[in-house]
């Protein structure tokens, strides 16, 4: 009978792998005075996902703003670059985490990603986020970005960049860890606010971020 024990253990392991792979996605709601959106967080980027959820539950981002709004590029919020200045003492939440690049996760319009400085490791700031606005691109432009940055866009990604838009030149340089699944017009509403030449809004754009329960996600997505 002992020869069956390894076989049984192997079968149990095989059964557990699909279960882990099918882990439920978690969702957050990002709200401002301009409106709100629902964002699905990727399980493929667990470090960034868990860091973000931890800060959201601690209401960290509720004390920050969208401080850099660049129409046709990104809406950046959370802690600004200046708070990561080497001459200052960082708060416990402010650190760098290693990138989690995945060629299947790209900077399409509505993507959620982490900001960073120009460090060689391309490590992310833990408390700075951005949502992609971007623009549409031609095949020729995408070819040039591939050549310059050593990238390869799938045909599906090309179609998205051609029709929906995004910021393809940021791919594999900044970690994408989620995407808007409801309320894409949130981007249009936020980028419509008046800003100065640096993208700083004239009037503070506060944010409130919350983790949604399964029931809340179902209600939001069902409502359309």
The tens digit of pLDDT for each residue in 169-199 reads: 999 999 999 999 999 999 999 999 999 999 9
The SS3 of residue 155 is helix
Give tens-digit pLDDT for 77-93. 999 999 998 778 899 99
Q: State which residues of the chain have pLDDT below 50.
A: 1-13, 15-20
Query: For the stretch 28-54, what's the b/e string if a residue is b when 16 or more beta carbons lie within 10 angstroms of its beta carbon?
Result: bbbbbebebbbbbbbeebebbbebbee
Q: Residues 54, 42: contact at Cβ < 8 Å? A: no
pLDDT of residue 6: 46
pLDDT of 71 reads: 98
**Residue 195 and residue 205: Cα distance in Å, rounded?**
11
Q: Which two tokens stand for residue 160?
A: 């998205």
The pLDDT value recorded for residue 86 is 76
The Cα 205–Cα 131 span in angstroms is 14
**Residues 115, 118, 119, 122: what is their CA dihedral angle, to the nearest 10 degrees?**
50
pTM for this model (two decimals) = 0.89
Percent of the chain clearing pLDDT 70 (strictly above) = 91
């Amino acid at each position: 009978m002992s020869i069956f024990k390894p076989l049984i253990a192997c079968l149990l392991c095989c059964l557990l792998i699909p279960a882990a792979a099918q882990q439920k996605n978690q969702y957050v709601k990002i709200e401002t005075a301009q409106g709100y959106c629902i964002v699905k967080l990727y399980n493929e980027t667990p470090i960034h996902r868990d860091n973000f959820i931890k800060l959201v539950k601690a209401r960290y981002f509720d004390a920050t703003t969208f401080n850099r709004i660049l129409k046709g590029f990104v809406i950046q919020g959370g802690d600004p670059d200046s708070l990561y200045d080497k001459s200052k003492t960082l708060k416990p939440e402010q650190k760098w985490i290693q990138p989690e690049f995945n060629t299947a996760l790209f900077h399409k319009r509505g993507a959620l990603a982490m900001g960073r400085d120009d460090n060689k490791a391309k490590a992310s700031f833990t408390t700075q986020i951005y949502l992609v606005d971007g623009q549409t691109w031609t095949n020729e432009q995408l070819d040039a970005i591939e050549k310059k940055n050593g990238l390869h866009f799938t045909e599906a990604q090309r179609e998205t960049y051609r029709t929906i838009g995004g910021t393809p030149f940021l791919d594999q340089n900044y970690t994408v860890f989620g995407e808007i699944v409801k309320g894409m017009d949130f981007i249009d509403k936020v980028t419509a606010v008046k800003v100065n030449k640096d993208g700083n809004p004239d009037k503070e754009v506060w944010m409130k971020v919350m983790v949604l329960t399964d029931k809340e996600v179902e209600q939001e997505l069902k409502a359309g």
